[in-house]
Amino acid sequence: MLLALVSCRPIQFPLPATDRGNVTSPLISDTSQWQALADHAAATAGPDGQPSAGLSLRELFATDAGRADAFTYAIADLTVDLSKHPVSPDTLSLLVGLASAAGVEAKRDAMFGGERINTTEDREVLHTALRLPAGATLEVDGEDVVGPVHEVLDKMSGFADRVRSGEWVGHTGQRIRHVVNIGIGGSDLGPLMAYRSLTPYVHPDITAHFVSNVDPAQLLDTLADLDPAETLFIVASKTFTTIETISNAKSARAWLLATLGDEAAVARHFVALSTNAEGVAAFGIDTDNMFEFWDWVGGRYSMDGAIGLSLMVAVGPDNFRAMLDGFHQVDTHFRSQPLAENVPVLMALIGVWHRNFLNRPTLAVLPYCQHLDRFPAYLQQLDMESNGKRVVLDGTPVSYETGPIVWGEPGTNGQHAFYQLIHQGTTVVPADFIGFLEAAEDVGGQHDLLMANMFAQAEALAFGKSAAEVEADGATGALISHRTFPGERPSTTILADKLTPSVVGQLVALYEHKVFVQGAIWGINSFDQWGVELGKVLAKAIGNELTSPEASELTHDSSTNALINRYRAYHGR
């Protein structure tokens, strides 16, 4: 049983110790631990600034036959091989020292305990409570949050079961065969990614669709083959004010009513996932058919609660709960393991090593699994929206790089496209390879070939092909340089037996906590998103200017004014 009694006091994390006399700096770069890492990077750099002297991958592997074992870690059902990174035991211990200096453990405990660590929105950050087992207790401001979480889960399960069994029918009595999740950002990417990941677990009579873009093409393409009588819309919006989602939901309702004719049909074909009951009611959805979540769940951290309803309908409550258990296993590891053996912490630290001390700006996520095709996009939001920040909690600008640019595509497609740059380009791109020992579904032994590619790529990136080897293959002249692969390109390999619901939860929680630790080290707020909020207001003003029949004076820059005028002129406004 977990019991955390939490009050609403302001957060007072230990600030980094500084080497500048009595001045206490909020910047981690002012700690002696940061400086020690900078010195270590300088002492081990070769003439090109890349790790050499004891930290080249070739040397690290040549001098330590046990390196793979020593740098491979287990977390729940995942095996994480960190050996192909330019880190020695000394590097790791300096990095762990940095995590301690940043107060990562205290910050982690504050998050799990329900303190208001999202200081700019004055909110707790409690997505980990969404996967606490029934019977656990977590009190925030004197109120238990685990009971309500399980009430919503039970309500979702009952609804999902009714849809799956055909008991919940549409307005004309037909069973629901298509579920359309209308949501964007955090209300789209998580359930979409998990739905595609768990394709083999989807109910044979139910297909889920995801509409996010306000571009009408996506809604129209999705609805083109659907029968309104068999279609259920799940309107997913934490705030229920997001213009893209509300616009798509209104258009979907008009499409439904154009065929079914009767306003009463809305109640059988629309449900909502939101924190805003008033907004849901104003839209015309019965709040009995609303599945609730709370302000303390950030959008991009919400797929394991009500926002996962489309996924639950598709894969069933048992599989959804198995996914939650996977999340919880990783939460437990993160919460209990010492920093030096804590896998999300180690992944985060290695990311900080690349980003801040080796100047590597991006991270490629390369799943060798087609079902994880949306995993890079999901991580892109998780990481870049969380850690794309430029000031620390007290508003001081950082003096160092923060979140990396995250990108990627499933292997082997990427191999025939952008891997060229990763192998021989001028930018070193750390990569995360993710693969499975067993295929979800195999045909003609293709899974063996898929995995052979993954292992071969990680090996080639790390160890390259020297000029001597190229020459030995018969190359001469300029061709020798063209065909030489420098190697020393780092990667993590994450393996699991199979992509099960639990493993999906484990993978997501692993990255959630990795992102958390990096944010904690950089001293930023990983849980707000003012850049996203800006986008939500900017378009409103220009929207009026594009559509108003009366031309009013435009007060933007000359480029924006010209673009707006061109659009208005085209439409004769």
Positions marked active-site:
385, 416, 536
- Say whether the peptide bond before residue 120 is cis (omega within 30 degrees of 0): no
Closest residue to bound ligand G6Q by CB: 185
Q: To the nearest whole angstrom, how small is the minimum distance from the Cβ of residue 206 to ligand G6Q?
A: 23
Q: Between residues 419 and 516, which has the closer beta carbon with respect to ligand G6Q? A: 516
Strands 231-236 and 270-274, sheet pairing: parallel
Point out which residues bind ligand G6Q (CB under 6 A).
184-187, 237-239, 242, 245, 298-300, 385, 529, 532
Q: To the nearest whole angstrom, how small is the minimum distance from the Cβ of residue 301 to ligand G6Q?
A: 7
Q: Between residues 31 and 526, which has the closer beta carbon with respect to ligand G6Q? A: 526
Spell out the residues 6+ positions from residue 34 whose beta carbon is closer than 8 angstroms to its own.
16, 28, 98, 101
Report DSSP letters for 195-240, one per residue.
Answer: HHHTGGGS-TT-EEEEE--SSHHHHHHHHTT--GGGEEEEEE-SSS
Q: To the nearest whole angstrom, how small is the minimum distance from the Cβ of residue 518 to ligand G6Q?
A: 17
Q: Between residues 190 and 228, which has the closer beta carbon with respect to ligand G6Q? A: 190
Distance (Å, rounded) from C-alpha 573 to C-alpha 567? 9
Q: Between residues 289 and 332, which has the closer beta carbon with respect to ligand G6Q? A: 289
Distance (Å, rounded) from C-alpha 103 to C-alpha 97? 10
Report DSSP letters for 82-114, one per residue.
Answer: -TTSS--HHHHHHHHHHHHHTTHHHHHHHHHHT
Q: To the nearest whole angstrom, how small is the minimum distance from the Cβ of residue 395 to ligand G6Q?
A: 21
Distance (Å, rounded) from C-alpha 109 to C-alpha 98? 17
Q: To the nearest whole angstrom, how small is the minimum distance from the Cβ of residue 300 to ligand G6Q?
A: 4
Q: How far is CA 209 from the centre of its chain?
A: 20
Distance (Å, rounded) from C-alpha 504 to C-alpha 323? 6
3-state secondary structure 306-372: HHHHHHHHHHCHHHHHHHHHHHHHHHHHHHHCCHHHCHHHHHHHHHHHHHHHCCCCEEEEEECCHHH
Residues of 537-552 as b/e, b for ≥16 C-beta within 10 angstroms?
Answer: eeeeeeeebeeeeeee
Q: Between residues 18 and 239, which has the closer beta carbon with respect to ligand G6Q? A: 239
Q: Between residues 230 and 304, which has the closer beta carbon with respect to ligand G6Q? A: 304
Q: To the nearest whole angstrom, how small is the minimum distance from the Cβ of residue 128 to ligand G6Q?
A: 16
Q: Are 362 and 491 in contact (CB under 8 A)?
A: no
Q: To the nearest whole angstrom, how small is the minimum distance from the Cβ of residue 183 to ligand G6Q?
A: 6
Q: Between residues 52 and 239, which has the closer beta carbon with respect to ligand G6Q? A: 239
Q: Can you give the C-alpha Rg of the chain in angstroms?
A: 26
Give the Cβ contact number of residue 254 at 10 Å.
9
